[in-house]
Amino acid sequence: MKTHTYSTDARAWVEADLGALVRNARALSAHARKPIIAMVKADAYGLGATAVARALETIEPLAYGVSSVPEAIELRQAGIDRQLILFTPSMLESPDPDWIPSDALLMKRHQITPTLARAEHIVAWGVAGNKPRYHLAIDTGMHRAGIDHRVVATLQEAVAEFPPEGAFTHFHTADVDDGSLETQEKQFRGAIAKLPRRPRLLHAENSAAIVRRSDSEWDAVRPGVFLYGVSSGSHLALQPEPVVSLRARVLEVRTVAAGESVSYGATWRAERESVIATVCCGYADGLRRTLGQRGGGLVRGQRVPIAGLITMDMTMLDVTGSGCRVGDVVTFLGQDGVESLSVDAVAGQAGLSPYELLVGLRLRLPRIYTGAW
Ligand SMILES: *Cc1c(COP(=O)(O)O)cnc(C)c1O
């Protein structure tokens, strides 16, 4: 049984269903009853920031969240003129007097909104621009970026002169009901109260926090991974539609005798005469090496195990009895017939976070965008 036809002659590819992505964004925004700042950092978690942002334009997000200046410039060059917020610290001062950090210049030129946490930076950015926008980063326990919530009052002068458009914090354990989120929010509220004025846009929640609650008390929400089809927990009512598939065509099929080995280190041995299929997709494509011996794929709507270690460019599967032939498509992530492999499940098998599995798919494979919105 051939379950599907694919309109590509690539040997291996990543598919991203942008229709599902847009529906996931709509569902989250409706759940929180707030507009979203769509996190498209790290090339939209590996799926391609330009294509993702173009699709999300239909829901008119409040802004896009990026993690570097070049990521923001790429979106500008693709014609995205919506607000872009840089959610990592900016380089606004120079350790060397002869060297001028380019961040300020580029952020101004491309209208990128930085997230700032130091008085010198707020003043430098304020002086550099004409009504410069920035969001104040407040650290309530992540200890990664932002000003310590206890000393926000030290920014009073800078903030009075150059008021931030927004302020935000980030939760460290939003996926677990351990009370930490509530503690962080309380500290965030306390910090905001120490500002001369309440900034117009307060935001805190990532995907897990949005899903766990409803009706956000803040002005916007900041989802990332949920948009890309990763659930925040199977027990939760709001589940995303899957977005990502990873597929590869079978390019060779051979029979190996009982006792023979497959791949490096001869760690896999045929217990019986076995049919082995080879696909051109390896760890250099993001099919993580830890899936060898544990993971599998779908072919002709059936689950088949990976045989032996995944190599840089190729992976072998034990397709004995499946009817697999050269030209068939193996699915490593996504659906084939009634079977499917979720990002979550495969990440679990690989001993990775789903985030890490997703961003790894950016390495080499062409991306194919599907779905309507
Ligand atoms: C990545 C990130 C998010 C989104 O997190 P998800 O868990 O992917 O929803 C939100 N806010 C900040 C500051 C981030 O860095």
Same domain, 206 and 173: yes
Structure confidence at residue 3 (pLDDT): 53
Least confident of 75-84, 126-135, 201-210: 126-135
Residue 8 within a domain: no
Position in ligand 1 atom list of the atom nearest CA 207: 9
How many domains does the chain fold into?
Answer: 2
Same domain, 176 and 264: no
Decide: 122 and 162 in contact? Cβ < 8 Å: yes
- Site of tokens 């002659």: 9
Q: Is 114 helix (H, G, I), strand (E, B) or coil?
A: strand
- CA dist 65 and 49 (Å) reads 10
Same domain, 85 and 175: yes
**Helix segments in the chain, DSSP class H:** 18-32, 41-45, 49-56, 69-77, 102-109, 119-128, 156-161, 180-193, 207-212, 343-350, 354-360
Same domain, 195 and 248: no
Position in ligand 1 atom list of the atom nearest CA 87: 13
Q: Go through 330-352 and write b for each residue having 16 or more CB atoms within 10 A of its CB, e for each that does not.
A: bbbbbbbeebebbbbebbebbeb
**Could you tell me if the CB of 187 is within 6 A of ligand 1?**
no
Environment class of residue 297 by beta-carbon count within 10 Å: exposed (0-12), middle (13-18) or buried (19+)?
buried
- CA dist 246 and 252 (Å) reads 19
Same domain, 182 and 250: no
pLDDT digit string, tens, across residues 228-275? 999 988 889 899 999 999 999 999 999 999 999 999 999 999 999 999
Structure confidence at residue 102 (pLDDT): 83
Structure confidence at residue 101 (pLDDT): 74
**Could you tell me if the CB of 223 is within 6 A of ligand 1?**
yes
H or E, element range at 368: strand 367-370
Tally of CB atoms within 10 A around 10:
15
On average, the pLDDT of the chain sits at 95
Structure confidence at residue 96 (pLDDT): 80
Structure confidence at residue 233 (pLDDT): 87
Least confident of 85-99, 219-233, 350-364: 85-99
Q: pTM for this one?
A: 0.96
Instruction: Tell whether the model's pLDDT for residue 44 goes beyond 80.
Output: yes
Strands 244-256 and 12-17: antiparallel
Residue from 40, 222, 225, 343 whose mutation best tests the ligand 1 pocket (most atoms within 8 A of CB): 222
Same domain, 322 and 257: yes
| Mean pLDDT, range 323-340, rounded to an integer | 97
Residue 7 within a domain: no
C-alpha 244 – ligand 1 centre gap (Å): 19
| Mean pLDDT, range 192-202, rounded to an integer | 97
Residue 40 within a domain: no
Instruction: Tell whether the model's pLDDT for residue 74 goes beyond 80.
Output: yes
What tokens appear for 265 in the block?
């280190």
Residue 234 within a domain: no
Range of the domain at 129: 63-219
Same domain, 325 and 198: no
Same domain, 327 and 193: no
pLDDT digit string, tens, across residues 163-182? 999 999 999 999 999 999 99
**Could you tell me if the CB of 232 is within 6 A of ligand 1?**
no
Structure confidence at residue 5 (pLDDT): 75
- CA dist 336 and 178 (Å) reads 38
C-alpha 215 – ligand 1 centre gap (Å): 18
CATH of the domain at 206: 3.20.20.10
